[in-house]
Amino acid sequence: MRPIERGPCPKDPNTNTDKVYKTYTEARRDLIDRLGEYCSYCEMRLNASLAVEHVQPKRHHPNLELEWHNFLLACTNCNSTKGSQDIALDAHYWADVHNTFMAFQYVEGGKVVVHPGLTKAQKAKAKRTIELVGLDKTPDKPDASDRRWQNRKEVWEIAKINLKRLENTTDKTNYAKAIVDMAKGYGFWSIWVAVFINHPEVLQGLMTEFIGTYQACFDKNNHYAPISRTNDL
């Protein structure tokens, strides 16, 4: 899961004070400007069906319904799986709080698993996060309207093909740029990072060109090794 930075509440250009949203859907444009057109959970690239997501559901926290710091972006599948259950924030990892890249591993076929290097308590928390939005849904748990697993599998294959091409090309600099452009079109940032983990020329573009990636989560002087964002991850 891409660690992201929502940033401070956008300013109203007329008053130069924090924007006050009348409805939460008004924040959609600002969120896309900050985070790109990607689901904050599954990282799918989406246009029309990308919804303003309330981290803490408005049903249980009406005071947070219009609160910038409670917003993320979510696809229909992540949104509906998460539903409106009340959330214990501390029991999960969040893309805008933690270095969520460290919580999960993206493995062959684009499957999302708990990172094996975590402590027992961290593993439990990562597992709850996967279950919260249904990132473990696979063909074993079929759901015809849920294309996330299928899409990840396809993007994994595309990334692998382009890894081979990159290794065989003499013009690595330009091909790395083309790969980053391709990744932006498809989404699933974590898959591209996993596949190109040994190619800093691609990683650099993935970190800087996907809007809203929290770059301090990665050590650019040390092969983009992940860095914890909190005392936990």
Does residue 75 interact with Zn ion by CB under 5 A? yes
Q: How many residues bind Zn ion (CB under 5 A)?
A: 5
**Among positions 21, 41, 101, 189, the unique one binding Zn ion when judged by CB under 5 A:** 41
Does residue 51 interact with Zn ion by CB under 5 A? no
Cβ-contact 9, 68 below 8 angstroms: yes
Cβ-contact 89, 64 below 8 angstroms: no
Instruction: Return the closest-CA partner of residue 189 out of 78, 51, 42.
Output: 42
Q: Which is nearer to Zn ion, 75 or 202 (CB)?
A: 75
Does residue 186 interact with Zn ion by CB under 5 A? no
Instruction: Return the closest-CA partner of residue 69 out of 24, 12, 135.
Output: 24
Q: How far apart are CA 153 and CA 161, in angstroms?
A: 13
Cβ-contact 195, 159 below 8 angstroms: yes
Is 153 exposed, middle or buried (CB count within 10 Å of its CB: 0-12, 13-18, 19+)?
middle
Interacting span for Zn ion (CB under 5 A) from 30-38, 39-47, 102-110, 159-167: 39-47
Q: Which is nearer to Zn ion, 143 or 201 (CB)?
A: 143
Does residue 78 interact with Zn ion by CB under 5 A? yes
Interacting span for Zn ion (CB under 5 A) from 3-11, 32-40, 87-95, 214-222: 32-40
Does residue 155 interact with Zn ion by CB under 5 A? no
Rg for the chain (alpha carbons), in Å? 18
**Among positions 31, 35, 42, 206, the unique one binding Zn ion when judged by CB under 5 A:** 42
Q: How far apart are CA 57 and CA 150, in angstroms?
A: 28
Q: Phi/psi class of residue 30: alpha, beta or left (left: φ > 0; alpha: ψ in -120 to 50)?
A: alpha
Instruction: Return the closest-CA partner of residue 213 out of 72, 29, 35.
Output: 35
**Among positions 27, 32, 35, 39, the unique one binding Zn ion when judged by CB under 5 A:** 39
Q: Which is nearer to Zn ion, 39 or 103 (CB)?
A: 39
Interacting span for Zn ion (CB under 5 A) from 24-32, 68-76, 86-94, 103-111: 68-76
The least CB distance from residue 12 to Zn ion, in Å, is 30
Q: Phi/psi class of residue 16: alpha, beta or left (left: φ > 0; alpha: ψ in -120 to 50)?
A: left
Q: Which is nearer to Zn ion, 83 or 223 (CB)?
A: 83
Q: Which is nearer to Zn ion, 75 or 132 (CB)?
A: 75
The least CB distance from residue 121 to Zn ion, in Å, is 26
Residues that bind Zn ion (CB under 5 A): 39, 41-42, 75, 78
